[in-house]
């Protein structure tokens, strides 16, 4: 009886609690309707910006500036699906994602600046119009790679794409970033200048059949470098740089006060007015140490395939094209030397092929010192000699050759070490 009595009291208590809850609900339900719903008792209309879960279309506002201003501090996406005019300098904050669809664009009709600190997304089509190089800046970490197509690069081999490529480089944050060139032929009438740490790559380099997915063509009127690299730790890879007939100057130049540790990899340079690749500059103050060439072809250039020469006004001054590494360089059919080294030292060359050059295959100038060659084939029909070392300046020399097929070998240098070379 004791257990039955306790169970009865427990059920009665439960019913009393439920009844109290029901009374409270009916007492306050009008207040809940007033505070939680619209005046018609329906769900409240969503605020077009605040607390937004979906994108805002910039076309619903007078300008892209107005769309950003209305977003305030909301974490939203602004979609640009039609041309939008910039009406003043604009900073897109980090809480706003900007998506520009095909057919959408941002137009600058004045000298306004655009800074994008939030995530950015667009396809391979033009999205910026009327902007000069430097007018647009991406914030740190908000875009994985930048495309020259966003500034109107066509890659058709006809239109000048140098302005678009330089604008892409200028838009990267100060610490650098990634520039991607899609498959195509990018004509450049002005030098492409890489002045910050950039991973600059195409969609595929030169093949034995002479084809390249990404080609950069230096216009005949360009009398200067095709690509100038003046920043530390840049990487250039997977494209073919060629030149129209009559162009002048070098193909790729690595030179500057902070141009060390630059990597050239899986690319080809051809038909340049002077050197295919030049590492070093013609004045004191450069630093190109720690360079690297990896699986590169330099062919049919107006002077040398590759020149390593930091002209520091006197061989008595330390050169700064030192401690570099070349792996699988092919220097073929250049008008003078396949590989020329002068004001540089302590560089290593592995597996060099120097073939059918009109003067020398490999040429070490009088200031070259402690250059080391491992393997490689220079015995390949070079006109004057396959490998030559000039008479060394005082205190220079000490170059080393290990297991290379030097063919016709002329050694006028000092303290040369040769082992296992024919």
The residue whose two tokens read 């009393």 is 16
Read off the DSSP letter of residue 139. P
Does the structure show a pLDDT above 50 at 5? no
Q: Whole-prediction pTM value?
A: 0.86
Does the structure show a pLDDT above 50 at 18? no
Could you tell me where the beta strands, DSSP code E, fall in 148-206? 156-160, 177-180, 184-188, 192-194, 198-201
Contact 113, 88 (CB under 8 A): no
Q: Is residue 347 classed as helix, strand or coil in its secondary structure?
A: coil
Give residue-wise pLDDT tens across range 298-331: 999 999 999 999 976 555 566 789 999 999 999 9
Give residue-wise pLDDT tens across range 99-136: 999 999 999 999 999 999 999 999 999 999 999 999 99
State how beta strands 56-57 and 192-194 pair: unpaired
- Strands of the sheet containing 96-100, edge to edge, are 56-57, 76-80, 96-100, 120-122
Contact 365, 336 (CB under 8 A): no
Give residue-wise pLDDT tens across range 193-204: 999 999 999 998
- As given in the structure block, the two tokens for residue 304 are 């040398």
Could you tell me where the beta strands, DSSP code E, fall in 260-324? 263-270, 277-279, 292-299, 306-308
pLDDT at 169: 98
pLDDT band for position 28 (cuts 50, 70, 90): very low
Could you tell me where the beta strands, DSSP code E, fall in 346-422? 348-350, 353-355, 360-364, 372-374, 385-389, 400-402, 409-411, 417-419
Q: Is the dihedral of CA 173, 176, 177, 179 positive or negative?
A: positive
Q: Is residue 89 classed as helix, strand or coil in its secondary structure?
A: coil
Give residue-wise pLDDT tens across range 145-202: 999 999 999 999 999 999 999 999 999 998 899 999 999 999 999 999 999 999 999 9
Secondary structure element (H or E) that encloses residue 21, with its range: helix 2-36
Does the structure show a pLDDT above 80 at 11? no
Q: Which of 383, 384, 385, 388 is nearest to 401 (CA)?
A: 388
The residues spanned by each domain of the chain are 1-42, 46-143, 175-419
pLDDT at 21: 36
In CATH, what number does 175-419 get?
Answer: 2.160.20.10
Q: Is the dihedral of CA 304, 188, 190, 145 positive or negative?
A: negative
What does the alpha-carbon distance between residue 284 and residue 314 come to, in Å, rounded to a whole number?
A: 9
Distances from the Cα of 341 to the Cα of 21, 366, 374, angstroms: 92, 9, 16
Please tell me the total number of residues recorded for the chain in this structure.
422
What does residue 60 show for φ and ψ, rounded to 5 degrees?
-80, 0
């Amino acid at each position: 009886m004791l257990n039955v009595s306790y169970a009865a009291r427990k059920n009665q208590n439960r019913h009393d609690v439920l009844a109290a809850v029901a009374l409270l609900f009916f007492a306050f339900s009008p207040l809940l309707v007033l505070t939680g719903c619209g005046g018609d008792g329906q769900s409240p209309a969503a605020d077009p910006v605040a607390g937004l879960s979906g994108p805002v279309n910039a076309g619903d506002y007078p300008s892209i500036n107005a769309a950003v201003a209305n977003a305030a501090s909301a974490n939203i996406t602004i979609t640009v699906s039609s041309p939008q005019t910039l009406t003043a300098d604009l900073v897109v904050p980090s809480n706003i994602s900007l998506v520009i669809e095909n057919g959408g664009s941002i137009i600058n009709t004045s000298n306004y600046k655009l800074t994008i600190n939030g995530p950015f997304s667009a396809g391979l089509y033009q999205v910026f119009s009327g902007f000069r190089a430097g007018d647009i800046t991406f914030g740190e970490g908000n875009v994985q790679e930048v495309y020259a197509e966003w500034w109107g690069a066509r890659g058709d081999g006809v239109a000048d794409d140098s302005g678009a490529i330089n604008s892409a480089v200028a838009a990267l944050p100060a610490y650098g970033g990634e520039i991607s060139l899609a498959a195509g032929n990018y004509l450049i009438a002005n030098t492409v200048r890489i002045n910050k740490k950039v991973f600059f790559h195409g969609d595929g380099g030169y093949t034995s059949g002479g084809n390249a997915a990404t080609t950069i063509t230096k216009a005949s009127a360009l009398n200067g470098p095709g690509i100038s690299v003046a920043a530390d730790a840049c990487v250039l890879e997977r494209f073919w740089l060629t030149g129209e007939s009559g162009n002048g100057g070098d193909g790729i130049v690595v030179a500057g006060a902070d141009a060390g540790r630059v990597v050239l990899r899986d690319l080809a340079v051809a038909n340049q007015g002077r050197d295919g690749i030049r590492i070093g500059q013609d004045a004191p103050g450069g630093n190109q140490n720690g360079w690297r060439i990896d699986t590169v072809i330099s062919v049919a250039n107006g002077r040398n395939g590759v020149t390593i020469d930091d002209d520091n006004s006197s061989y008595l001054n330390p050169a700064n094209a030192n401690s570099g590494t070349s792996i699988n360089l092919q220097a073929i059919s250049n008008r003078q030397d396949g590989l020329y080294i002068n004001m540089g030292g302590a560089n290593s060359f592995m597996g060099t092929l120097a073939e059918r050059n009109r003067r020398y295959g490999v040429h070490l100038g009088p200031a070259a010192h402690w250059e080391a060659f491992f393997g490689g084939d220079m015995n390949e029909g070079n006109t004057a000699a396959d490998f030559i070392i000039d008479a060394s300046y005082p205190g220079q020399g000490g170059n080393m050759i290990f297991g290379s097929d030097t063919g016709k070998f002329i050694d006028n240098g000092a303290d040369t070490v040769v082992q296992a070379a024919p």
